[in-house]
Structures are given as structure tokens and as C-alpha cells.
Amino acid sequence: MPLWMLRPARCTWVADCGHVGGGLGERFEVSPPCETRERPRAMPRFHLSTPIYYVNAAPHIGHAYTTIVADTIKRFRRMLGEDAYLTTGTDEHGQKVERSAHKAGLDPKQFTDRVSAAFRREWDELGLEVDHFRRTSDPRHALAVCRIFERCLENGAIYKDSYTGKYHLGDEAFVTDEEAAQSDPEQITTVTEENYFFRLSDFQQRLIDLYESQPDFVQPDTRRNEVLAFVRSGLRDLSISRSSLRWGIPLPNDPEHVFYVWFDALTTYMSAIGYGEEESGETDYERLWPIDVHLVGKEIVRFHAVYWPAFLMAANLPLPRQVWAHGWLIFQGGKMSKTKGNIVRALPVKEVVGTDGLRYYLLREIVFGQDGNFSHKALATRYNADLANGIGNLASRTVSMLSKYCGGEVPAASGGDDGGLPALAATSIADAVGHYRRFAFSRALESVWSLLSRVDKYIVEHRPWMLAKSRETAAREELEATLYNTAEALRVATALLAPIIPDGAQKVWEALGQEGRVANVRLDRLAWGGLVAGTRSGPQRAVYPRLDVAKAVKQMEALEEQALAEQAELMGRGRPVKRIEIDTPEIEIGDFARVDMRVGLVQAAEPVRKSRKLLQLQVDIGEAEPRTILAGIAEAYAPEQLVGRRVAVVANLQPRKMMGRVSQGMVVAASLDHGKPHLAGFSEEAPVGARLT
């Protein structure tokens, strides 16, 4: 029998251990190992990062998503007894940020100070436990970037050359012709520059070897396959400097150039923990590098899983252990983006449902790794179902029954039907811990909920309120067993939920009379039976007050508007930013004059066979004959709604063949993110054929 099995159930030395009662020496029985955290003694360490976010816009819920997940992982690893650290920061150099600063009428330093502080505040307000926050504008960061560059240079991985290529302004990256053809033409520009190049092509085989020898280096598998295919298709050398830009870190050997943002940004993961500063004293670098996980959104997996390891290989530095790329939060039909304006902020949501409500929804509703919709209504509904009516309600019922039937003390379970709860709890613990390890958060929650639902049933089956009325000993014993088993199952579930809903878990923990922090429980030692008979339960309070869904949604939306105005202030505009940013290049009046737009009157409209989208219109624009115009508006308008309506028609557009018919112009419609079209019209009776100027 292992030694721990002969220890007293009561923990004798951990100051904030939850084990109370059962005096020393009284309970030398077979008991699980102490579940609470041990004194820090050569603990294994775990280090993870989020991306460092661009400061060209204020934080939104997409940024919060990654950071909340990272915080959850960190809390979970701590509950495995590991010394876990979270690194994040802000990405402040480059053209995009320079342009945003300019728009705000600030110099880049002032602008980035402001927005970076907002990110920091956001993580504090959301209760996220960040250990290292590094800004790329921090001079200590520049030391690290220069150090890695110099190592790459010494090892022959860098050369200078002239380069002409297609450059994507939004992504701040050179792109292939194929990628340029698939991008928004406004974002693509041709750039010729003398640049420093990184010999990425030399690293193709070493990268493939890495992915093959460490199959979980890139996760999930879909992303791994993508990365592998990209690398197998051949790698081109990478330009890593810009001479046309000032807002960046100058190259140590050629200060006319500044570093390309990604070479600069990726190095933050090391500069944040002191790489480059070792000479000025002890840093965390030795202890925390290599990092265990880079958590990123799927759109930046290539930078992390291809470029970054190649830079490190060239610099002869240890590689990260894993890059984990998650999916996107989708809102109003698209990935949230600053340019599209379909953005939700985290703080207004937190105001209404608390940080736990937000965290729970994001981790329960969205399968981690996949894209998932964000909806205020779904969030409020989920909160009510699982938190208010679920664990919150079970906690208050349990405490109230303990108080009513057992004088506020946990009774002993001396037999009686346990409803299979101990076995189910053991399964839930093993499953949930396994799922957490694999970042399958929604499945971890399902495992806990299978235990909680069983407890609900168990209470109904045993009807403690009826047992309490009986004076028979057997009934009393059954009542006590029922309450013990219920409270113990709740204790186990609460500990398992602590990484995701830390605030509520702590409250339930206290309601069950447990001392110390639930965050100090060791999940790898969590086992049935840790609840000690005689423990006094805590006060009964509503952990998650129930919401009126409609009202909560309205509240969140109103707060969102307010947050938008505040953030506009933050971005230096002093007035609410529109949700849409117009970033198309300016044109001259002559360019506009080339488009001949006329007032048209719809005379007839009919569906186009086999087309869901098209309607065929006959539109009078004042010529001898009406024009036949095909418009992609069938999903928004019925033909009969259109007859007699005045529309704006582009009259000098080349005729275009669609579905075997020829369209002799275009009607003008507005749509948001390719959503429902709204025909442009006239509130007055504009004369047919009049030109729009």
C-alpha cells in the first residue's frame, strides 16, 4: 500500500488546505492523497502565450477569447501542481499602426501607449492572470530582436538583395501572385525594395522533419496538414526588413532599415521573459524557454509554425513545443474585424453576465479549434440554463438542505444508496482532466455536467424533503447519505469547473464550507470522499442570479454602444467611430464622372429560372427602350415589390452575360459584409433618366 494511503485524512501542514474536521489520529483510514496544492518544490513549469495584439484598434472579444482560453489553461495547469505562466503583449510597429496613429492625429508612440494600456486594463478587468506583458516598442524588446538577428546573420541565414513583389497592406506581408489575385485589390500594392532576406528556403527539410518527428508540434491536425502542405510546396526566402518605414526597430548593422513586423513581433515571446537582457541580471528566460504552447488564431498559424521555428533554428535556439491554432468567433456572419465593424467587446458582456458567464459561454458553446458563432442571446440563454439553473441552483439547494435538515453541517455517509455517484465522479474527474489536457474544453464541461445532471436526478429519486419528515433511523440515515453524496458530488464538480468559472467556483467552494482557495485543489489528486463530515456549510447566496434574457441582451447591446463611444475616444478621434472604416483609396472627381448613373423606373420584374439570386428587371432610364437588367436581389425582394420603384442604374457598364441572358446595366444596392442588399432609391420623385452627379 503506498504511504499516502496511511496518512490521516486531515491535512496537517498546508495552511489553506480545505480539509478540516476529523481530529488528528482519528481517521487513519484508506484515503485519497491530499488534494490541495503542495509547497512549491521543484514544480514542473508550464509556459504559454497568446499572440501579441495589434494596437491599431481597441481590444475586442476575439482578443479576449484567446486570452481567456490561455488563462483557463494556465489555471488548469496550476491545478495540476505546475508552475504555470502566461505571456502576452502588444504588437506596435509597422505600417498599419503608423497609419492608425496618423488617423488619430497622434504620433505612434503616444498612440501605442494609449492603446497598449487599454489592452492591459482589459485583461485586468476580465480578471485574467497575465504574468508577462511585453510591448514591442519597449527598448528591452529591441535588444532581443537584434540579438536573434545577429545570430541568424552570423550563421549565414541572412543576405541583402533587391526585391519586387506584391505586398498585402492589411497583412503586412509579401504575398504570392496567386494570393494577391484572391485578395482585395485595394490591399495589394507592388513594392520594390533593397531588403534583408532570411533564407527560409534552406529550412524546408528541417521544418518537415520537425513536423514529422513531433506530430503535435502544430495542432489541431487540420492546421498541421495545412502547414505541412505549405512547406512541402516549397518555401521562398523571406524579406525581413523595410527601408521605406520608420516606425520600427532599426537593424543593428544597417539602421536605414527597420525590422519587418513579424520578425520583430514573434521575438516578443522571448523578450517578454528577458531574452537579450541576461547580462543585466537574472531573468525568467532560462526557466521559461522553450515555451510549451503558442496559442494563436488560425490565420496566423503560418507565421508561428513555419517562420518562427525557422528563425529559431537559424539562431540556434530551442524551439517552442507546440503551436495550437484555434478557430474564429463569428459575429453577424463574418470573422470579427476592425475594418468590417462587426465587433463585440468583452467588457459590456462582462458587465451583464460577469466574467464567469462570458468564459463559460466561450468555452462551452464553441468547440475549441473550430469557428463558432457569437450571439448575445445564446450567451444569456446558456448562462441561465447551465449557471443560474444548473450549478448555481444546485449549490443553493444543497446548502439550504444542509441547513434545514442537518443544522448546517455536512453529515456522515454511513451507507445508503449512493446512486452510483462515486463511480460517476471518478469518471468525470478522469474525463474532464483528460479533456482539459487536450484543450477540449466543451467536452470537459460536458463531463462535469453529466455528473451534475445525475445529482439532480439523485435528489429527486431520494426526496430528502420526505425523508426529513420521517422519524425512523433508516430514513435519517438515508437522508444523511443523500445530502453527503450530493454535497460531495458538488464539491468535485466545483473543483473541476474552477479553471473555467473561477469566481463562481470559489463561492460554491465556500458555501460548502471548504477553506482556502478552490484554485489550490490538485485536480490530478481529486477524488471522491474529500468532503469531511462535520464541516459547517457557508452562507447561502445566489452564485449566478437568473437573467431576463431579453433584458440582458438589450443591456449588453446598450453597453456595447457606450463602449464604442469610449473606445473612439481612446483611438483619439474624440467622437464615436463609425463601425465601418472607409479605407479605399481616394479618387478624383474625374474618376467618379466616368460612371454614368441614372434614375431608372422599374417597369417589370421576374425571377430568373434556376437562379436563387437573380431577378430580371425592365428599367426605363429615359431611353427609347427600357433596359434589361439582371440584379442579384432575389433573396431580398419579391418581383412585385419592385415594379413602379425608382432605382439608381449604372448605365455605361459593359453588358454582361449571366445565366444565358445579357444584363445591360446594374442597379445600385447597399449591403453590409455581403449581407442582404438594400436598393438605393429616391425619397422624392426624381425624374427618370436624370443623372446622378
Interface residue list for ligand ME8 (CB under 6 A): 51-54, 62-63, 65-66, 91, 265-266, 268, 296-297, 299-300, 328-329, 335-336
Q: What is the DSSP string of 332-381?
A: TTEE--TTTT----HHHHHHHHHHHHHHHHHHHHSPTTS-EE--HHHHHH
Closer CB to ligand ME8, residue 372 or residue 392? Answer: 372
15 vs 20, 36, 44, 410, CA distance in Å? Answer: 11, 10, 22, 22
Smallest gap from residue 19 Cβ to ligand ME8 (A): 40
Cell (9 digits) for 42? 521543484
DSSP 687: P
Smallest gap from residue 189 Cβ to ligand ME8 (A): 20
Q: How far apart are CA 82 and CA 139, in angstroms?
A: 31
Closer CB to ligand ME8, residue 63 or residue 507? Answer: 63
To 5 degrees, how large is the angle CA 151–CA 153–CA 157? 105
Closer CB to ligand ME8, residue 148 or residue 666? Answer: 148
Closer CB to ligand ME8, residue 70 or residue 394? Answer: 70
Smallest gap from residue 199 Cβ to ligand ME8 (A): 21
Closer CB to ligand ME8, residue 83 or residue 179? Answer: 179
Closer CB to ligand ME8, residue 267 or residue 398? Answer: 267
Smallest gap from residue 69 Cβ to ligand ME8 (A): 9
Contact 598, 649 (CB under 8 A): yes
Q: How far apart are CA 598 and CA 648, in angstroms?
A: 6
Smallest gap from residue 575 Cβ to ligand ME8 (A): 24
Smallest gap from residue 498 Cβ to ligand ME8 (A): 24
Q: How far apart are CA 646 and CA 664, in angstroms?
A: 17
264: left (phi > 0), else alpha (psi -120 to 50), else beta? alpha
Q: How far apart are CA 459 and CA 429, in angstroms?
A: 21
Smallest gap from residue 580 Cβ to ligand ME8 (A): 17
Q: How far apart are CA 133 and CA 269, in angstroms?
A: 10
Smallest gap from residue 317 Cβ to ligand ME8 (A): 16
Closer CB to ligand ME8, residue 59 or residue 411? Answer: 59
Closer CB to ligand ME8, residue 339 or residue 400? Answer: 339
**Cα dihedral sign for 239, 240, 241, 246?**
positive
Closer CB to ligand ME8, residue 52 or residue 313? Answer: 52
**Cα dihedral sign for 428, 433, 435, 436?**
positive
619 vs 138, 614, 650, CA distance in Å? Answer: 61, 15, 11
Contact 597, 648 (CB under 8 A): yes
The one-letter code for the residue type at 76 is F
| Other CB atoms within 10 Å distance of the CB of residue 550 | 10
Contact 168, 187 (CB under 8 A): yes
Helix (H, G, I), strand (E, B) or coil at 45: strand
Smallest gap from residue 436 Cβ to ligand ME8 (A): 20
Smallest gap from residue 293 Cβ to ligand ME8 (A): 13
Smallest gap from residue 361 Cβ to ligand ME8 (A): 14
18 vs 12, 403, 495, 514, CA distance in Å? Answer: 11, 20, 11, 5
Closer CB to ligand ME8, residue 263 or residue 449? Answer: 263
Closer CB to ligand ME8, residue 107 or residue 299? Answer: 299
Smallest gap from residue 357 Cβ to ligand ME8 (A): 18
272 vs 82, 131, 145, 164, 334, CA distance in Å? Answer: 20, 9, 11, 34, 33
Per the DSSP assignment, residues forming a β-bridge with 250 are: 258
Closer CB to ligand ME8, residue 342 or residue 506? Answer: 342
Closer CB to ligand ME8, residue 301 or residue 353? Answer: 301
Smallest gap from residue 217 Cβ to ligand ME8 (A): 17
Q: How far apart are CA 109 and CA 116, in angstroms?
A: 10
Q: How far apart are CA 503 and CA 497, in angstroms?
A: 10
Contact 539, 508 (CB under 8 A): no
